[in-house]
Amino acid sequence: MPAALEVRDLTRRFGEKVAVDGVSFTVEPGTMTGFVGANGAGKTSTMRMIMGVLARHAGEVLWDDRPITRADRAAFGYMPEERGLYPKQQILDQLCYLGQLRGMSRGDAAREAQRLLDRFELADRGKDKLEALSLGNQQRVQVAAALLHGPTALILDEPFSGLDPVAVDSMVDLLTDKLREGVPVLFSSHQLDLVDRLCDSLVVLSDGAVMASGTASDLRNRGPRRYRITTTPDAGWLREEPGLTVLDVDGATAIVEPRSDLTADLVTRAAARGLMELTPLVPTLADIYREVTR
Ligand SMILES: Nc1ncnc2c1ncn2[C@@H]1O[C@H](COP(=O)(O)OP(=O)(O)OP(=O)(O)O)[C@@H](O)[C@H]1O
């Protein structure tokens, strides 16, 4: 049965520095949750605590509504920041070994490893040493290692960094299969455009604390309400209007953010000035990220 992964009040200090400061969020079954934040925000430390490779100083990790166990974690797929595979060993050998470590028979591990290599268009590279591959292809093999044993949850630390767009798409296809099975996926990334395209949910971390979290649609609804207004010949008059902030004017078109709702008065005045367009702008997750970490 699909389960949710939850962290509650997770806290970790390094000396005086509170790297993770009471972090709480849930990764629901079958959802792709993006984990974003500036360098040093605490993403890797949080993921390490989820996986039990870094001790926590407070808080808890729950799987399926109960404290997570070693066996639960062993069934997860984890792609650590430092990556797990050996550069000087053959790819298929390593994948088979890892599969067996996680309880697969050698035959099953070999078959699944080959299937994953096929899907990443690395079918004939299994006998190569990992280091013989380009960095992007090494990354694909690292992801294959996390997927091999049919994981119950995926914790992926920057899985898309360094990948070309085709590699991103093939990885997304594989992850989508897992999502359909109900597997919760948490991945960190600095690529906000990708996060925007892929995520059902988002957790924004800044200085160890959660600044915003929720489903992509909730966050978009909570984001600033902005409109694009076009009035000919010039939209500059909007700068004099009370109750709104003009974010940008480019000739006839302005982007505005009303302090509360857009008033009927304003629309009437715009109509009198040759209103051509009035479009609500849906914030991207990247806009929301910038807003909450400002
Ligand atoms: N082993 C450690 N010893 C001391 N400080 C650490 C250690 N690991 C992390 N930190 C500190 O904890 C903070 C959070 O680091 P972390 O790697 O979790 O952030 P991050 O969000 O993953 O960053 P990045 O995007 O750069 O990978 C940083 O200030 C970092 O320097």
Tokens (6 digits) for 80: 């650590």
Q: Report the chain's mean pLDDT, rounded to a whole number.
A: 92
ipTM comes to 0.96
pTM value is 0.88
User: Mind listing the pLDDT tens digit for each residue in 214-264?
Assistant: 998 888 887 778 999 999 999 999 999 998 999 999 999 999 999 888 888
Closest C-alpha to ligand 1, atom 4: 14
User: How high is the pLDDT of residue 164?
Assistant: 86
Question: Ligand 1 pocket check: which of 10, 11, 35, 43 to mutate, most ligand atoms within 8 Å of Cβ?
Answer: 43
User: How high is the pLDDT of residue 24?
Assistant: 98
Residues with CB under 6 A from ligand 1: 14, 17, 19, 37, 39-45
Sign of the dihedral defined by the CA atoms of residues 16, 18, 68, 107, in that order: negative
User: How high is the pLDDT of residue 3?
Assistant: 94
Task: Give kind and range of the element (H or E) at residue 10.
Answer: strand 5-14
Report the separation in Å between the CA atom of 37 and the middle of ligand 1, taken as the mean of its atom positions.
12
Q: Lowest mean pLDDT: which of 2-11, 125-134, 283-292? A: 283-292
- Of 268, 271, 273, nearest to 237 (Cα)? 273
CA 111 from chain center: how many Å? 29
Angle at 39 between CA 47 and CA 142, to 5 degrees: 50
User: How high is the pLDDT of residue 120?
Assistant: 87
Backbone φ and ψ of 200, nearest 5°? -85, -30
User: Mind listing the pLDDT tens digit for each residue in 181-219?
Assistant: 999 999 999 988 888 889 999 999 999 999 999 998 888
Q: Name beta bridge partners: 156.
A: 79, 187
Report the separation in Å between the CA atom of 12 and the middle of ligand 1, taken as the mean of its atom positions.
10
Report the separation in Å between the CA atom of 110 and the middle of ligand 1, taken as the mean of its atom positions.
36
* pLDDT score of 115 more than 80: yes
Q: CA-CA distance, 265 to 18, in Å (whole number)? A: 50
The minimum-distance atom of ligand 1 relative to the CA of 15 is 4
Tokens (6 digits) for 47: 């993921």
Q: Which residue has the tokens 């790819």?
A: 91
User: How high is the pLDDT of residue 174?
Assistant: 87
Per the model's pLDDT, the better-predicted residue between 10 and 161 turns out to be: 10
Closest C-alpha to ligand 1, atom 9: 45
CA dihedral 120, 121, 123, 125 (to 10 degrees): -90
User: How high is the pLDDT of residue 263?
Assistant: 86
The minimum-distance atom of ligand 1 relative to the CA of 12 is 12
User: Mind listing the pLDDT tens digit for each residue in 61-98?
Assistant: 999 999 999 999 999 999 998 888 999 999 999 999 99
Closest C-alpha to ligand 1, atom 24: 39
Tokens (6 digits) for 216: 């992509």
* pLDDT score of 162 more than 90: no
* pLDDT score of 2 more than 90: no
User: Mind listing the pLDDT tens digit for each residue in 244-257?
Assistant: 999 999 999 999 99
* pLDDT score of 36 more than 90: yes
User: How high is the pLDDT of residue 163?
Assistant: 86
Please count the other Cβ atoms lying within 10 Å of the Cβ belonging to residue 110.
Answer: 18
Question: Contact, 205 vs 177, CB < 8 A?
Answer: no
Q: What domains can be seen in the chain, in order of their start residue?
A: 5-221 (3.40.50.300), 223-293 (3.30.70)
